[in-house]
Structure 1
């Protein structure tokens, strides 16, 4: 709705601007004033006009307001200093808005753009740990946001099946006699992580074992030993299956899992290296590499080891060229420790291949406060451990608040609250900022995600209590929203605009702030206004229902469940 009334406001402004004999840029948008008392939409166009008229901005704004024909949907237009502010007539607007809110509310018109978004892509040598989870949560939430904003999005997980870590696991199986099923752990990825730890220790201490691992990499890259190929593939497939289980538990899904070995097998890595050779970019010493000093990058880009095997970086180039054939934008979510390799890739794509480089969003790492959580692994906190801990803490909190609930009733609530707490807390900070995960904040029923989920559950309870079929109700034509209702309507109306702004910036943290603002406004309405039994009961029930829908749709961007009971 804000898009529609913004257009009316801009049209009215343009008609007023036509009365000036000055040429100014008409490609402008309106803003939300910081205080509703200053109006609902504001324009800074007076600043552009004042440069032409050489008059004080506040006087230009005042004169501009006098020339505006106020559209019916607005109560008035007024200037506050240099700003031109539009005030919505909520007696008209509220009814129009609530009639438009449905299950798809917030979904924007289709954009002719396909994005290939890669995120997570952790090595399949053990379970996902807390170092990976920010990548996964941000990547999945961003994909949800972009889809809602009309983009076509395909999410990919790049599976490193040819790396040294996998070869070390295979060494443990083929040379040390270790078996995956004999290792400690409840899940297959955890067992593989244990096996990797044992084999890696042997390789670190034994030069002959180290040499053997290099031989295994060579053999697997050639692909001629079928039994060896099966062993590599079994390790990777098994670990990835465990990783998928963890991701699904977190409401995270990928459209495709692309193995890096594909680009060795289909010859695309060789084709790339041959191209670089042919064009004279390759230097030969102990290894084959591209010297990037001419592009102000000190570290060379290594293409092949001395034994002729390829590197992850070369295979990654081939993978990114493949992704570019699938869509219009290639977008990577990477840790800040990948900045150098991304800079190298950008230069190679743009300066050598003369192709469009991938876009990259970097994130800083996430840590737990010292002593905030024990782990039986000792080395790191797995995502499964993190989820288990969140659910355990949520269970204790629910029991303390609702001692009459049974364990069977608490379990599904605790899972939704625990997973929601992790996803919401991690999403709420811009990825460029370092994040320390704090349990008390994440699981707060007053300030955290649980408070937003509780607002949704409250709405569901109130609607159920009414006993009415909400879809059959109609808004009272004489309803004039009071200040509390106006605040709630105003926030519901902002949702599509928030979706568009966040999608354009490719960031999700402002969605979390919107969720908090909307839930806070609904809770204020819930506490201060009688719904059932009021003179405008049906209208307020509709407002409750539309609030519930908007909260759910906003939380869905973040992959956070919206429980009906809490």
Structure 2
């Protein structure tokens, strides 16, 4: 709705200029004045016209004002020097907003474009660790936002079942009879075996030849027992990873196995397309010097086996055929590999993916290497967050039963992880701090608390959802105006987040909305006031928008706290 207001102002300014036979070369931009007394929306379009018209911006602004036709939801326009300031008619605008917002608020028209979004795709050689968190949470939140923005989105996890790590696990179980601990979560049990097998390799490096032989044999696809062993290890680990993703409110549409593209001819097909550009020596590689990359892209080893990148090219060829947009979530350390992949895809007449790169999460606990067995698993991180949340709830004495404390602690704990990661632009590194993540004043808990407050207030009102259209017939207070304006921005934020592929815009908005609601809640009487019906509708509109915002961030909105 806020976007509509600005678009209507843009049309009015263009009409005003047309009346004066003035053409505008640049786009009209708007901003919010620093002080509400200066208006709700402002433009400096007079500045952009000053040089062209050889007049002062002050004079131009006044001329635009004199010829302007104010759109419906505005009550007046003023100039302040070169700025043109517009004032919203909040009695009309509030009436529109509180009756307009429903459960589907923020949804954009359906689009024909299909997006195949790949995220997480961690090697199935152990549990997800904290280093994977940002990939998973950004990917899942972006999927939700894109779907709300009208896109058809499929989220896929690319399963690296042909990697050296899996061969090491199979080798260790066969050669040294390493056992999976049935008392441990499957992915943790796999990770323990991987660690033990790596210790054997470090003690006797000559064993690496045996790993190479196993990989070669697995790729040939003729040893049924070996294929079965690989598949059992991967499936067992993926079962554990799925459980962790479920705890984070993440659901994949498809787990796509890497070996699929070797067995179905996809690898052979993409290598055939690249053949005119490759060089065969001891290895098969794609030279990239002419593209400004010194490092060649190796596509096949000397023994004829493929590499991860070869299978990845075939996977992206599959994405080209099965979507309109390929979207990958990758760590910043993959920039070179992504550039190499994009060049190879271009040369093979396939579509390079869009990539959202992210920086890493820093924790004081240190290393997260699964190979050395020293890492912080996501499962441990979740449990620690829930415990921190529980401690904070008990400290605040929120008058909850023991069962409610456990329920709310889990919602807050997981929500705090997702929100803390989502609120920071992916280009910036994150240093995770519990006191900030779990803050009831400025973290996710403050947003969830605002939603719970709205639910509690509405629980005291009978059949509020059956109210017929209400009309605002009084001059709103500043807190009401601020809340109405924040509510009106939701759809614009969804559009921006989807178009820019940036989740943090929505996270920042959600926090801003909760602050506006809390200010309104503390300053305005709702039940029993002379403006009760409109304010109840305003509370409900806030509840809906907060809930929708949190849902798109993958966070549950509790009804009590």
Q: CA deviation at 1:117?
A: 1.1
In 2, Cα distance between equivalents of 1:275 and 1:512: 43
User: What is the correspondence of 1:90-109 to structure 2 with a 5 Å cutoff?
Assistant: 90-109=90-109
180 and 34 in structure 1: CA distance in 2 versus 1, 3 angstrom threshold: farther
Equivalences, count: 559
Task: Determine the structure 1 residue equivalent to 2:288.
Answer: 292
Give ranges in structure 1 of 5+ residues lacking alignment. Answer: none
Q: CA deviation at 1:169?
A: 0.7
Task: Determine the structure 2 residue equivalent to 1:444.
Answer: 439
* Residues 367-414 of structure 1, C-alpha deviations (whole Å, 9 max, x = no match): 2134999x9x97111111010001111111111222753321211100
154 and 223 in structure 1: CA distance in 2 versus 1, 3 angstrom threshold: same
In 2, Cα distance between equivalents of 1:219 and 1:540: 70
| 2:422 aligned residue (420, 427, 430) | 427
39 and 561 in structure 1: CA distance in 2 versus 1, 3 angstrom threshold: same
In 2, Cα distance between equivalents of 1:403 and 1:110: 42
Between stretches 445-454 and 267-276, larger displacement belongs to 267-276
Task: Determine the structure 2 residue equivalent to 1:64.
Answer: 64
In 1, Cα distance between equivalents of 2:37 and 2:110: 34
| 2:257 aligned residue (256, 259, 275) | 259
* TM-score calculated relative to the size of structure 2: 0.95
Aligned residues of 1:204 and 1:210 also touching (Cα < 8 A): no
SS at match of 2:115: strand
* TM-score calculated relative to the size of structure 1: 0.94
In 2, Cα distance between equivalents of 1:394 and 1:518: 23
SS at match of 2:78: strand
Task: Determine the structure 1 residue equivalent to 2:314.
Answer: 318
In 1, Cα distance between equivalents of 2:273 and 2:510: 51
Task: Determine the structure 2 residue equivalent to 1:512.
Answer: 507
Task: Determine the structure 1 residue equivalent to 2:470.
Answer: 475
Q: CA deviation at 1:476?
A: 4.3
2:540 corresponds to 1:542: no
Q: CA deviation at 1:216?
A: 1.2
* Residues 176-195 of structure 1, C-alpha deviations (whole Å, 9 max, x = no match): 2122245xx63100000001
Task: Determine the structure 2 residue equivalent to 1:283.
Answer: 279
Q: CA deviation at 1:11?
A: 2.3
Aligned residues of 1:22 and 1:52 also touching (Cα < 8 A): no
In 1, Cα distance between equivalents of 2:57 and 2:170: 72
Task: Determine the structure 2 residue equivalent to 1:219.
Answer: 217
Over the residues paired in the alignment, what is the CA RMSD in angstroms? Answer: 2.1
User: What is the correspondence of 1:324-403 to structure 2 with a 5 Å cutoff?
Assistant: 324-350=320-346, 352-370=347-365, 379-402=374-397
In 1, Cα distance between equivalents of 2:117 and 2:80: 44
Off by >6 Å, runs of 4+ in structure 1: none
Task: Determine the structure 1 residue equivalent to 2:119.
Answer: 119
User: What is the correspondence of 1:131-210 to structure 2 with a 5 Å cutoff?
Assistant: 131-181=131-181, 186-210=184-208
| 2:455 aligned residue (447, 455, 460) | 460
In 1, Cα distance between equivalents of 2:382 and 2:180: 24
Between stretches 320-329 and 129-138, larger displacement belongs to 320-329
SS at match of 1:243: helix
Task: Determine the structure 2 residue equivalent to 1:246.
Answer: 244
In 2, Cα distance between equivalents of 1:61 and 1:379: 64
Between stretches 403-412 and 186-195, larger displacement belongs to 403-412
Aligned residues of 1:476 and 1:536 also touching (Cα < 8 A): no
Between stretches 116-125 and 268-277, larger displacement belongs to 268-277
SS at match of 2:459: helix
Between stretches 128-137 and 112-121, larger displacement belongs to 112-121
In 2, Cα distance between equivalents of 1:372 and 1:225: 37
Aligned residues of 1:113 and 1:152 also touching (Cα < 8 A): yes
In 2, Cα distance between equivalents of 1:109 and 1:537: 34
2:494 corresponds to 1:499: yes
In 1, Cα distance between equivalents of 2:53 and 2:282: 69
| 1:304 aligned residue (282, 293, 300) | 300
Q: CA deviation at 1:455?
A: 0.5
